[in-house]
Chain A
């Protein structure tokens, strides 16, 4: 059951978020350097979402 739910979440995540455009909502940055500079300036961590064009 858990495995099934996890697989559904994964599939939904891939379907919603795969490709060149980031998922709507968060204020995404597109380069490591830009994200790191902003995070250093704000004293925050960086969340990274890795995907590919399917």
Chain B
């Protein structure tokens, strides 16, 4: 669609930005990563239109030409609602691509008015050894700035996760409320390593409302990152939060297995909630599939094995019935024998 000559009238009506990750961690890839993280992108291909005044995403254009052009018309109408150059600030004017290697002291680099320069400094700090306390203090202070550029903020967070994890954990609740998935992923990884039951209500809400009440471009990935935290620090309400996804029993969704594992951990940890976890697991076997579909059969049997493993983690000493070799006719008797064995 993008090479279509019918888009030519739009070549000078919007600014066109191409961002491609090559995963080589070279300068081009690092620049692309910054833009991905600025807008919370972690799947491809994606298209957005944003307002350069505040980086607000105005729309996600549809992928058919007619819808795409209509969306462009709507977005240009948006720019007419505000005065040209309205809101252009010294910070906007300071923005520029990084130049040659910056050799100024850390403190000066971290105070640069250009957010890209601050981001580059922090990227170097993440891998640096023996950082002075004053530098770390300055990095930590960034986490208290509500108006900081999100790319700078995320990199400051990464430094603090590595060097001052306690300071990050103390702010975990407010950090998880920031609508940026890459930022949330960093916090969730730390929370997983340092489980805190006080965060359970926040994590439950994030899991249930991802992509709806909780803005997320990757709700399924976000749930995949939250589930292990719920396994380690969730409460009884976490079972109900994860139950619908477990019951979907969708082997195509990688989050399903992660959720089963989290339910197993919850059941093993919360003795009083074991019957509830067991009930959910017994409803989470995948549906029958035709024996003529070997891929679906293999995947369904693998998922059924995960359900059995989760039940075994919850029921100490439980002897599971042997898994069948197909999942069409054998599913019903197998599930019935599992139910019988856990009575």
Contact = CB atoms under 8 A, between A and B. Distances in A.
Interface of A: 6, 9-10, 12-14, 16-20, 22-53
B36 A17 contact: no
A6 B63 contact: yes
Nearest to B8: A25
Contacts, number: 173
A20 B97 CA distance: 19
A43 B50 contact: no
A31 B31 contact: yes
A52 B50 contact: no
B2 A32 contact: no
B181 to A, nearest CB: 13
A36 B49 contact: no
Given A16-B2, A32-B34, A25 B7 contact: yes
B297 interface: no
B96 A37 contact: yes
Nearest to B83: A43
Contact of A48 (B48, B64, B75, B97): B48
Nearest to B65: A9
B58 interface: yes
Interface of A, secondary structure class, is: mixed
Interface in B1-33: 1-5, 7-8, 10-23, 28, 31
Residue with the highest number of chain B CB atoms closer than 10 Å, among A14, A24, A30 = A30
Contacts of A25: 2-5, 7-8, 11
Contact of A44 (B2, B22, B79): B79
B92 A30 contact: no
Residue with the highest number of chain B CB atoms closer than 10 Å, among A13, A24, A29, A51 = A51
Interface in B27-68: 28, 31, 34-36, 38-39, 41, 44-53, 58, 61, 63-64
Nearest to B78: A45
Interface residues of B, number: 56
B45 A45 contact: no
A50 B85 contact: no
A24 B18 CA distance: 11
Given A26-B11, A48-B35, A13 B1 contact: yes
Given A28-B17, A49-B17, 12 more contacts: A13-B1, A13-B63, A16-B3, A25-B2, A26-B7, A32-B35, A37-B92, A37-B95, A44-B13, A45-B58, A46-B52, A51-B44
A11 to B, nearest CB: 11
Contacts of B50: 45-46, 48
A40 B53 contact: yes
24 contacts: A9-B63, A10-B45, A10-B63, A12-B1, A13-B45, A16-B2, A28-B16, A30-B17, A30-B31, A31-B31, A31-B97, A33-B97, A35-B15, A36-B92, A42-B15, A45-B58, A46-B17, A46-B49, A46-B52, A48-B48, A49-B16, A49-B17, A50-B45, A52-B22
